[in-house]
A = this chain, B = another copy of it.
């Protein structure tokens, strides 16, 4: 049998890293590889009450088909929460998605024909790159420093390239680098997007997990022309297993997402939407987020102290003010995949950074996650990784 697949399937291949990381599922492994929240912080008892009450009060509705757009009371609450980062929104501006990953896939589907250009940070989120790849675009990476994208370079791209369909950014505690855009760059991004008439996709799964300092306004808050699509999620502040995220955009644009959602899976799990809505009714999500932040802040501290103490000197790395990741740059000639092989021998795992660059290269980088391991394991793991690095550099 010779099945002829769509051309896009040539673009979607199993990565070697994925295969390598399968080795890291053993319990003895100290893994800095994934992007998993700490499960011991999940509000399991609260979820029991919430599930029971939702089924008691509205069991038939909670288990039935429901509108594609999502459960309106939840959409209202999300709209309200957006105010804290300067976004004025109402329920009608919000589509509930199956995690914000689904918003990324829809973005590709809505905007991208083969050969179109996606402008993104360098590096950028692997899951977004893979979702977009399914629609056969090319990627233009823009150099990104501690303040965000290089705006001169971005303007050069926008002024010379014709087929840019959107600019994709993760401005808060970026995945993979852990870096956050300055307010100035956010404003400038909107200025350039307006000037060159390009939509902006603002992916913001981590912004609420700030350990210190003040949360900057969303890029979307500076949007005067309805060109920013904002993607949010409860995966990092509540429970990822429920797969509830949202896409926020102005009406005409959101309508496209709603059409696409309908063909994709009709709607997001009704029960999960009502459970989160109920949780927001009877508990304080912000208080829950404070608990998460307390734990992650300590883990971040342990990891950063460990890096300072045990890693070779003169490496560049991010000191993240929030989120789940830090990012390390090794000397240019070192291949992080080789480091990973050695690290796995001492039961430590991480993600080599090369895959976060859609056009390749930069194999001398690595992403470290600190949210999913205990303080003790972080301490031990970073010490071991430090030893491996010192041997190899």
CB of A225 within 8 Å of the partner chain: yes
Give Cα A270 to B60, complex, Å.
Answer: 21
Give Cα A102 to B267, complex, Å.
Answer: 10
Within 8 A of B (CB), among A40-87: 40, 42, 44, 47-48, 51-52, 55-56, 59-66
Check if B227 sits within 8 Å of A243, measured CB to CB: no
CB of A14 within 8 Å of the partner chain: yes
Check if B37 sits within 8 Å of A59, measured CB to CB: no
Check if A60 sits within 8 Å of B40, measured CB to CB: yes
Copies of this chain:
2
Give Cα A91 to B4, complex, Å.
Answer: 26
Check if B241 sits within 8 Å of A270, measured CB to CB: yes
Task: Assess A105 versus B264: contact at CB under 8 Å? Given A12-B259, A42-B63, A197-B1.
Answer: yes
Task: Assess A264 versus B131: contact at CB under 8 Å? Given A259-B14, A271-B241.
Answer: yes
Check if B44 sits within 8 Å of A63, measured CB to CB: yes
Which of A106-114, A332-340, A362-370 forms part of the interface with chain B? Answer: A106-114
Our pick among B4, B102, B226, B241 for the contact of A1 (Cβ within 8 Å) is B226
CB of A175 within 8 Å of the partner chain: no
Check if B264 sits within 8 Å of A102, measured CB to CB: yes
Give Cα A380 to B113, complex, Å.
Answer: 50
CB distance from A115 to the nearest CB of B (A): 11
Give Cα A12 to B258, complex, Å.
Answer: 11
Check if B269 sits within 8 Å of A269, measured CB to CB: yes
CB of A26 within 8 Å of the partner chain: no
CB of A27 within 8 Å of the partner chain: no
Chain B residues closer than 8 Å to A263, beta-carbon distance = 12, 101, 104-105, 127, 130-131, 133-134
CB of A260 within 8 Å of the partner chain: yes
Give Cα A130 to B242, complex, Å.
Answer: 27
Chain B residues closer than 8 Å to A271, beta-carbon distance = 239, 241-242, 272
Give Cα A101 to B240, complex, Å.
Answer: 22
Give Cα A60 to B271, complex, Å.
Answer: 18
CB of A8 within 8 Å of the partner chain: yes
Check if A269 sits within 8 Å of B256, measured CB to CB: no
CB of A98 within 8 Å of the partner chain: yes
Residue count of chain A within 8 Å CB distance of chain B: 80
CB of A266 within 8 Å of the partner chain: yes
Check if B269 sits within 8 Å of A242, measured CB to CB: yes
Chain B residues closer than 8 Å to A226, beta-carbon distance = 1
CB distance from A141 to the nearest CB of B (A): 19
Check if B63 sits within 8 Å of A113, measured CB to CB: no
Give Cα A347 to B239, complex, Å.
Answer: 43
Chain B residues closer than 8 Å to A361, beta-carbon distance = none
CB distance from A309 to the nearest CB of B (A): 31
CB of A282 within 8 Å of the partner chain: no
Chain B residues closer than 8 Å to A241, beta-carbon distance = 61-66, 269-271
Our pick among B97, B243, B268 for the contact of A267 (Cβ within 8 Å) is B243
21 A–B contacts, CB within 8 A, in A order: A2-B197, A6-B116, A7-B113, A12-B260, A42-B63, A44-B60, A48-B51, A63-B239, A63-B242, A64-B240, A98-B98, A99-B266, A101-B266, A104-B263, A109-B134, A127-B262, A131-B263, A133-B263, A241-B269, A264-B264, A269-B272
Q: With A12-B260, A133-B263 given, can you name 14 additional A-B contacts, CB distance below 8 Å?
A: A1-B197, A6-B111, A6-B135, A8-B109, A9-B256, A34-B65, A39-B61, A44-B63, A48-B51, A64-B239, A99-B265, A101-B265, A242-B269, A269-B272
Closest 4 CB pairs of A and B: A44-B59, A241-B270, A63-B239, A39-B60
